[in-house]
Amino acid sequence: MRFQFSRHLQSCNNANLGEKTISSIIGKNIDIDPAGTTYGIIQTIEFAQKSENKYFYNSDKVFVSNLLRTWITAFLLYGTNLENSKDTLKLYISPYLKEYSVYDRILKKGGDPFKRGNYPLQVSETIKNFVKFLMHLEPEKMKEFYSEHLPKNYKKWYYRLPTYVEIYLPNKDLIFENSNYFSINIDNYNVKQFNIIDTIGPKSSQPAFLKGGDLKKFMKWYESNESNFNYSNYIVHVVTHSKVMRNFIYKKIKDFEKNIKKEKKSKCNIKRCNENDEKCIHYCIRNSNCWRFNYDTYQKDEDGNFGKITSYVPGIPLDIKKSKLSENPKHSLCGKYKKLNKNKKQTKQNQTDKNQSDKNLKSNR
């Protein structure tokens, strides 16, 4: 069996575009469960449509963590590469895939958890934020605020998206029964829920959804539950997080981390990553979104043990400067602009109320 693990797109926190909180004192704006920057969204769309990448994102079933950015990434990478544009994309919220956080370290020391950045919200809130993301993609809105950044075929891409996205949650024993899920109609954003019990949110009884992930445990869990997925593909497609992936790779590939440090000294940078400079491959993986690697459970590694990383491929080079410059405060999913847009909506509502009041006064004269 082969597992393909991909890192998520550039999140608002990656670009320091999260909400201003107490953490801003140390120079970091952090959303609790960040969405993606619009630059990251557009780059991911273009990345998934490249001829050399399409083949790798052609599954209608994707396993994701309980954090929003992996749902968004799975939708962008796989949504328009399905055989039939009317197909349903199914996302399985899976254990052992969540990113590490400050919360993990504090919890080990017995302190109060600091739940920002890599901590789940209640699933009902995450669903609302996912629907906001879907609405964010509407061609007219994107054209109005990001016309200079959009790919030429954006509208065509948008209308090839699947009609439905189904988001499945496991039961309290981490087993998928295919009865606990949300169904979202992309055409009208209508959300239906079936037997929803929040097993993946902040009150989950399963540490596998609250602590940093472990790909070895994930694969073991998957193999013990394989029959529940009715999964005919040879490759299991997974979207997870950088540190979870790197922790696994460091144990499997000797000197991987050492190579990154060496490459950094040899002046590897975004430009060399964009040029696919093979001398900088380790550095470019560490400094990119949507990078991926394949792991074959039936192949033997250098030491003769079953399980081998057969390939790893850099993704979209991190470009925080470009991301900040291109993010439009009037149409953004990032927390930094939340209050701005909230105030704008309030002002609009106040004006509507005033107009209505003036109308009523006139009619009463």
State pLDDT tens for residues 322-351: 999 999 999 999 998 876 555 554 444 455
219 contacts: CB under 8 Å, gap ≥ 6: 3, 295, 297
pLDDT score at 105: 53
Query: What are the residues whose beta carbons fall under 8 Å from the beta carbon of 100, sequence distance 6 or more?
Result: 118, 212, 213, 241, 243, 244
Query: What's the pLDDT score for residue 274?
Result: 85
Mean pLDDT over 180-190 rounds to 94
Mean pLDDT, residues 132-146 taken together: 95
**Is 50 exceeded by the pLDDT of residue 153?**
yes
Instruction: Give the single-character DSSP code of 208.
Output: G
pLDDT at 7 over 90: yes
pTM comes to 0.88
Q: Hey, where are the domains in the chain?
A: 2-333
How many helices, marked H, and strands, marked E, lie in the chain? 14, 11
Mean pLDDT check: name the lowest of 81-85, 260-264, 272-276, 353-357. 353-357
pLDDT tens-digit readout, 68-107: 999 999 999 999 888 766 689 999 999 999 999 765 555 4
